[in-house]
A and B are shown apart, each in its own frame.
Chain A
């Protein structure tokens, strides 16, 4: 038995039967990190010593019968934009290189309450801006399926670490596709919850009206389990919604007979790789065999999603990132000689190119005289996109699209052309713009053996249906049994 190959629900079973000790699991992961991290480079901070110590403590509590929580002792990895008390939270940026949060994000409090073991903080595009994790100020994470390819982004460290079995599961964040796209490129499961389902308190904000924390896991069951841990109203986040608490694992019946899925034709047009299309078409056929009604429909407003997304996200980012000003916990330029210098030089030296590009863009669209033409208009488009999705959901339970227009691309392939990089999010951004839940699961591989992802989009707060729809297909395809990353 290879411990790091197991899903969390498998690990949980073995912990319950005392087939495995908590310490066995943590040690196996620590060894795996030692083996694979040099190749993959998914971590910005590893907490292996602390993890082993915690595992020993939990194991001894367990033996005394003092341990509560059925996930106690399961390791996890955390994207480095989620605040962890006493541990660096860098957001992949030089400007926060030495920032140690004085408090835990709400999701971390939940994870600590469950006695999960944090193995470390995972690499990401600087401030979650990017689709390849190449915008990290510290390292380039490689795709375990092909080390010359990117893992996607911005939660590339989280997705690669899960794919490489260096963590059994991880938390990511998704503003325009940052969980689903890397999950797709790394052949793992990623869920972007409905806006407001998971507290954003302690998630370093990129775009406040779009950001959500979500799980990246090996399979759909684990995804539902981790969602159970992190979902729920938080009075510290005014935008978190007070919805009835659910057990998402219970939703996984696999029965989807009579379900109606809409397939928007705009998501299968130009720019979508042929092999991706073929794979999705096969998946659609399988759904039909499972008794699902599938219909093609038009969601042409989605063509404007990327434009409105970049205006809104960058506007919010330009304001959210203002606090990194060289005054308190951030990098301060040693060359600064005046107050204005501290602001200008610290930010010029501390931020990377993509972050600066978005700050400039966001500042521009909020400037007086341009606000109406850009920001206000983008908000109007946003409302239209929400309305169109709502119309779609009058007819369909789930909307199905590719997650990413292509499979994993080469490191350095798109860094010269930001617009081309932005197109990586073409299938995912509209979900954030509309505040809906979306899940990506692997449904096949291309001719180079690189994973292809399918995205299922649900109604607001109807994570149950997309999880179950994904679960049904996962059972059908058995992706994890057929394919595995080869680190070539």
Chain B
């Protein structure tokens, strides 16, 4: 048998923290990064006698997510308790949803090598996040921080439609971009606000599904792809060797690029779900759902259409810009301010994307504003700076964001457009390069480019390139 005889099935359970200001069952702040146990109250600390009250915004955001992923919204939903012991779970149960999730039977479309593919969504439900354990290496103690306990989550469960690491990657990115577009989650992976449990199984074509393994709480696209790829290989190897795949929870190690089995929590599979008696049923009217539907922000799909049809942008431009709501918003606002859509698009797909990659930065972490970008394009258009100086200004805007004109002034990067001054430079360069003059006169156009390059070098990129061109030609034709 060969690898081609196998198919993989990948299931993803994505947990996205909702961007509500307060927690799901109390009024504590959901802000990330506070000092331990400063954003807590009796409710989210699970004090005896404290009771949860469902935050309406959480329902609204989950319904938004459901509508944006083509789900059916349940009008009669409820919360259930999921019971287990762990120090980060102060009530010893999570309040989740078991048999009546808010949203069901949706799908999103992803791009694959063979065109578009629908990935079905089984369900989206709401639940509360757990706290965090901080292991103090110095004392050997584990300390419980409950700031995150009660931060609202939606869990989005895919149907077994994903067949490769590439599809998983594109599903996760698409889903993330949808959630960002509808503004229900900021999906900051580095803060754990967008993470996935990854299930992988393989089976021979035409046979029934294989046994799956699970890797929990993964929050890097790259690690997820690598983990899936590794698991597919490992499972096929096992089967080829006549062994069986064990159903288990695994841990992915990024350094070795391997999965390891974890010690399973005792009886972890019987959570004794039952309806949460402290909360009442969630009943949603047609009007409520319709109202959310009407007010849903523009989705990435529709922006793509608009960019293609109205702006005549290329596939590459549209792909890069619409993948992130942040980039797309940046593009639209900056274009509106400076009026040069093409230039803004070029900056985003080339230099901005490159810098984000180098810095391993999320677009949402871009420190400068759309105004800054627009003003940079404007001063290039005006001739105050050249686009090569523009690159330097952009780098500086990433480091220490401020008005580009200010940067140019401070750094003395303004373009030299004074004819007398430029003529001096031109004369000097010509003196030093008699061969180029001869080449130019012999009809070699490359010589002009070389001379302009030399002049740019001499002026540290500040000379106006159009004027250089003009004056070189003038001087040589004298």
Seen from chain A, the residues whose Cβ lies within 8 Å of a Cβ on chain B are: 81-83, 89, 91, 96, 99, 101-103, 105, 200-205, 207-209, 235-239, 315-316, 318-319, 322-325, 327-329, 339-340, 343, 363, 366-368, 371, 375
Contacts and interface: CB of A to CB of B under 8 A. Distances in A.
Interface of B: 42, 45-54, 81, 83, 85, 87, 90-93, 144, 266, 270, 272-274, 277-280
B51 A323 contact: no
Nearest to B88: A327
A204 to B, nearest CB: 4
B87 A339 contact: yes
Contacts of B92: 319, 322-323, 325
A103 B42 CA distance: 8
A241 B144 CA distance: 35
B81 A319 contact: yes
Contacts of B266: 340
Contact of A202 (B49, B90, B277): B49
A341 B48 CA distance: 22
B266 to A, nearest CB: 7
A367 B49 contact: no
Given A237-B51, A318-B83, A328-B144, 19 more contacts: A81-B49, A89-B48, A101-B47, A103-B50, A204-B48, A208-B277, A237-B53, A237-B278, A238-B54, A239-B278, A319-B274, A322-B91, A323-B46, A324-B48, A325-B85, A339-B87, A371-B272, A371-B274, A375-B274
B48 to A, nearest CB: 4
Contacts of B51: 200-201, 236-238
Contacts of A101: 47-49
A99 B49 contact: no
Chain B interface secondary structure, helix, strand, loop or mixed?
loop
A81 to B, nearest CB: 8
| For the complex of A and B, 7 pairs with smallest distance between CB atoms | A322-B92, A366-B272, A208-B277, A209-B277, A204-B48, A202-B49, A83-B49
A470 B319 CA distance: 76
Nearest to B274: A366
A327 B49 contact: no
A238 B274 contact: no
Given A101-B48, A103-B42, A236 B53 contact: yes
A366 B87 CA distance: 22
B404 to A, nearest CB: 51
Contacts of A82: 49
A239 B49 CA distance: 14
A99 B48 contact: yes
A431 to B, nearest CB: 17
B49 A323 contact: no
A238 B278 contact: yes
Contacts of A367: 270, 272
A316 B277 contact: yes
Given A235-B53, A367-B270, A375-B274, A322 B47 contact: no
Contacts of A375: 274
A316 B275 CA distance: 10
The interface residues of chain A, by DSSP majority, are classed as loop
A353 to B, nearest CB: 21
A115 B53 CA distance: 28
A386 to B, nearest CB: 15
A28 to B, nearest CB: 32
A327 B280 contact: no
Nearest to A328: B90
12 contacts: A83-B49, A101-B49, A102-B42, A203-B49, A204-B48, A238-B53, A316-B274, A318-B83, A328-B45, A328-B90, A329-B48, A367-B270
B93 A239 contact: no
Given A101-B49, A340-B266, A322 B274 contact: no
B42 to A, nearest CB: 5
Q: Counting chain B CB atoms within 10 Å of each CB, which of A89, A207, A366 scores highest? A: A366
Nearest to B91: A323
A235 B55 CA distance: 12
Contacts of B45: 328
B278 A323 contact: no
Contacts of A81: 49
A228 B85 CA distance: 40
A204 B280 contact: no
A342 B50 CA distance: 23
Nearest to B25: A238
A201 B53 CA distance: 11
A135 to B, nearest CB: 18
Nearest to B83: A319
A243 to B, nearest CB: 15
A102 B49 CA distance: 11
A366 B144 CA distance: 29
B85 A102 contact: no
A363 B274 CA distance: 11
A480 B278 CA distance: 39
B309 to A, nearest CB: 48
Contacts of B144: 327-328
B116 to A, nearest CB: 39
B49 A105 contact: yes
Contacts of A315: 274
A83 B144 CA distance: 24
Contacts of A208: 277-278
B14 to A, nearest CB: 25
A254 B204 CA distance: 82
B47 A329 contact: yes
Contacts of B48: 83, 89, 91, 96, 99, 101, 204-205, 323-324, 329
A329 B146 CA distance: 14
Contacts of B93: 319, 322
Contacts of A327: 87, 90, 144
Nearest to A202: B49
Nearest to B272: A366
A322 B50 contact: no
B270 A368 contact: yes
A110 to B, nearest CB: 15
B46 A238 contact: no
A96 B279 CA distance: 25
